[in-house]
Chain A
Amino acid sequence: SQKIEQNSEALNIQEGKTATLTCNYTNYSPAYLQWYRQDPGRGPVFLLLIRENEKEKRKERLKVTFDTTLKQSLFHITASQPADSATYLCALSTDSWGKFQFGAGTQVVVTP
């Protein structure tokens, strides 16, 4: 069956360091991969989209890579700040119709 795995353990990181999150998938050939940020009690907020024919995307301090051979996406937050503390979700779609499957998310805690 299709499976999306994100590290369930919280990532604790010191301010100023780079946080790296993984999103692994099995039995899947996603055409689109999105990353979202979710704060407690709130809805997810879109961060980045990457397509299957793209290797890397950047937006300000954020970078996402997509390796279809390894079946993995990496999400990087450089120069992390306490305000980056949140849960980060990856979402995959195999078609163009907006039907995504989400991972359970990884919590990031940035300490001063």
Chain B
Amino acid sequence: DGGITQSPKYLFRKEGQNVTLSCEQNLNHDAMYWYRQDPGQGLRLIYYSQIVNDFQKGDIAEGYSVSREKKESFPLTVTSAQKNPTAFYLCASSIVAPTGPSNQPQHFGDGTRLSIL
């Protein structure tokens, strides 16, 4: 079955440490997204990518970095510059139709929960 795989499901970070969250999709989607979800808040967009080797900052990109070297992979690195990294991180993908990806559903993984030790 096609889908999005996020790993690990739970991740712990020590102060001053960078960590990388994995996101892999086999849906052959061009667009991929990273969101952060905090209790009682909506999903907030961190980074998104419409095509390989290109990505744009979302609303809360500070303290995060991404790469898009392959169509199926969009890893997110939470750097030590992110002062409040504890959150539920969600990766999504969608088709880039001629009318644009907003006209298409986003398919989500089951998230990675990051905590600070």
Q: Nearest-CB distance from A51 to chain B (Å)?
A: 8
Chain A residues within 8 Å of B59, by CB: 101
A contact patch SS: loop
How far apart sit A18 and B101, CA to CA, in the bound complex (Å)?
A: 31
Q: Which B1-52 residues sit within 8 Å CB-CB of chain A?
A: 4, 6, 31, 33, 35, 40-45, 48, 50
Whether B103 is near chain A, meaning CB under 8 Å from some CB there, is yes
Say which one of B67-75, B76-84, B106-114 lies at the interface with A. Answer: B106-114
How far apart sit A16 and B109, CA to CA, in the bound complex (Å)?
A: 31
Contacts A4-B42, A43-B90, A103-B42 given; indicate if A97 touches B105 (C-beta within 8 A): no
Q: Is the CB of A98 within 8 A of B43?
A: no
Q: Is the CB of A49 within 8 A of B107?
A: no
How far apart sit A34 and B102, CA to CA, in the bound complex (Å)?
A: 9
Chain B residues within 8 Å of A112, by CB: none
Q: Is the CB of A42 within 8 A of B110?
A: yes
How far apart sit A95 and B103, CA to CA, in the bound complex (Å)?
A: 10
Q: Nearest-CB distance from A46 to chain B (Å)?
A: 4
Number of cross-chain contacts by CB at 8 Å: 76
Binary interface encoding of chain A residues 66-110 relative to chain B, with 1 for a CB under 8 A from any of its CBs, else 0 = 000000000000000000000001010101111111111100000
Complex partner residue of B105 from A34, A41, A93, A96, CB under 8 angstroms: A34
Chain B residues within 8 Å of A103, by CB: 42
A-B contacts, 28 listed (Cβ < 8 Å): A34-B105, A42-B111, A43-B90, A43-B108, A43-B109, A43-B110, A43-B111, A44-B108, A46-B107, A89-B42, A95-B102, A96-B99, A96-B100, A96-B102, A98-B31, A98-B50, A98-B102, A98-B104, A98-B106, A99-B45, A99-B48, A99-B102, A101-B42, A101-B59, A102-B35, A102-B42, A102-B44, A104-B40
Given A45-B108, A99-B48, A104-B42; 6 other pairs, CB 8 A cutoff: A44-B106, A96-B99, A98-B102, A98-B104, A99-B102, A101-B59
Name B residues whose Cβ lies closer than 8 Å to a Cβ of A.
4, 6, 31, 33, 35, 40-45, 48, 50, 58-59, 90, 92, 94, 96, 99-111
